[in-house]
């Protein structure tokens, strides 16, 4: 299996599908891995693009490092992969936590290799409530997730998959198989990595990163997202990214790559090819 070695020696796993075409790098949400994007990667590769997806450090088949489970290192690992594959004219697609990861990559490393960005159900600009972010979510929300991670993470992941992640608690038609895949991928994440990543996705302030984005950006968000509420995430990010295009999925849940697969694939392909 292909890996790239990060600056601190961590091994970062990646998939590289398709041949020719412009490259698309798909980055996954917490606490999943590259498999969360496999349907989109197959679709894009079959439509002439090179589709790449990696497991963030601590997740899936990448090294479970004790240190580096925060956004600066996630962005630097992404830069390492992009430079290793010498990707240019690249479209970066990030779901949930990875929306922050790709925005932070642009903030730290610039957009010289990037043609476009897509934020899907993404955590920017800042999830955590603060004096200068009164619309954010209370710290107690994330402390609750951390408590579940620490006490019984297997049940936490089942509760997320059976409830708010896919909107299954809203009678969304999502199969047992998809919910089982969420649990399986989540259990492959290192315990410390998953615990530390909760702070990374909730408390990192991405507003300076969004201000630095200077490439065409598509923001996609469901208006019934129970993990990253629309008004906390997509609506505000679209306001802060100059020239961004916002697509709102009516009654859309957080797990759009599965719940709205066909529509999302079509929207990604149209934007990438535009």
pLDDT tens across the length of the chain (274 residues): 799 999 999 999 999 999 878 999 999 999 999 999 999 999 999 999 999 999 999 999 999 999 999 999 999 999 999 999 999 999 999 999 999 999 999 999 999 999 999 999 999 999 999 999 999 999 999 999 999 999 999 999 999 999 999 999 997 789 999 999 999 999 999 999 999 999 999 999 999 999 999 999 999 999 999 999 999 999 999 999 999 999 999 999 999 999 999 999 999 999 999 9
In this prediction the pTM is 0.96
Q: Are 185 and 60 in contact (CB under 8 A)?
A: yes
Active site residue 273: no
Name the catalytic one among 63, 96, 121, 186. 96
CA distances from 241 to 45, 151, 234, 235, 261 (A): 28, 38, 11, 11, 25
Task: Please tell me the predicted confidence (pLDDT) of residue 20.
Answer: 78
Helices (H), 14-116: 38-46, 71-84, 97-109
Q: For residues 35 and 125, what is the distance between their CA atoms, to the nearest angstrom?
A: 26
Q: Are 123 and 95 in contact (CB under 8 A)?
A: no
Backbone angles phi, psi at 38, to 5 degrees: -65, -35
Active site residue 62: no
Name the catalytic one among 54, 209, 254, 260. 254
Task: Please tell me the predicted confidence (pLDDT) of residue 172.
Answer: 74
Residue with tokens 């949400």: 29
Name the catalytic one among 35, 225, 258, 260. 225
Task: Please tell me the predicted confidence (pLDDT) of residue 19.
Answer: 81
Helix (H) or strand (E) holding 247: strand 245-249
- Residue 221, classed as helix, strand or coil, is strand
CA distances from 178 to 27, 36, 55, 118, 221 (A): 18, 10, 19, 23, 20
Q: For residues 139 and 130, what is the distance between their CA atoms, to the nearest angstrom?
A: 9
Structural domains of the chain sorted by starting position, each given as residue range(s) with its CATH number in brackets? 3-273 (3.40.50.1820)
Task: Please tell me the predicted confidence (pLDDT) of residue 219.
Answer: 98
Active site residue 225: yes
Helices (H), 1-96: 38-46, 71-84
Q: For residues 158 and 168, what is the distance between their CA atoms, to the nearest angstrom?
A: 11
Strand order in 3-5's β-sheet? Answer: 3-5, 11-17, 50-54, 23-27, 90-95, 114-120, 217-222, 245-249
């Amino acid at each position: 299996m292909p890996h790239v070695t990060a600056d601190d020696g961590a091994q970062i796993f990646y998939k590289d599908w398709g041949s020719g075409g412009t490259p698309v790098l798909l980055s996954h949400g917490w606490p999943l891995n590259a498999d969360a994007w496999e349907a989109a990667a197959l679709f894009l590769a079959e439509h002439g693009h090179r589709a790449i997806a990696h497991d963030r450090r601590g997740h899936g088949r990448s090294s479970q490092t004790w240190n580096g489970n925060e956004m600066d290192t996630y962005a630097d690992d992404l830069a390492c992969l992009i430079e290793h594959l010498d990707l240019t004219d690249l479209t970066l697609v990030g779901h949930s936590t990875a929306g922050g990861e790709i925005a932070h990559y642009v903030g730290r490393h610039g957009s010289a290799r990037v043609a476009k960005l897509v934020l899907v159900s993404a955590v920017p600009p800042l999830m955590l409530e603060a004096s200068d972010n009164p619309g954010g979510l209370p710290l107690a929300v994330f402390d609750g997730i951390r408590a579940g991670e620490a006490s019984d993470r297997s049940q936490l992941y089942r509760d997320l998959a059976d409830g708010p992640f896919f909107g299954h608690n809203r009678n969304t038609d999502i199969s047992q198989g998809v919910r089982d895949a969420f649990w399986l991928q989540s259990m492959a994440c290192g315990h410390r990595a998953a615990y530390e990543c909760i702070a990374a996705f909730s408390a990192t302030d991405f507003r300076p990163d969004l201000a630095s984005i200077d490439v065409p950006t598509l923001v996609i968000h469901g208006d019934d997202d129970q993990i990253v509420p629309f008004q906390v995430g997509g609506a505000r990010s679209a306001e802060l990214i100059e020239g961004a295009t916002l697509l709102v999925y009516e009654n859309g849940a957080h797990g759009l790559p599965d719940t709205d697969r066909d529509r999302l694939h079509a929207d990604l392909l149209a934007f990438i090819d535009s």
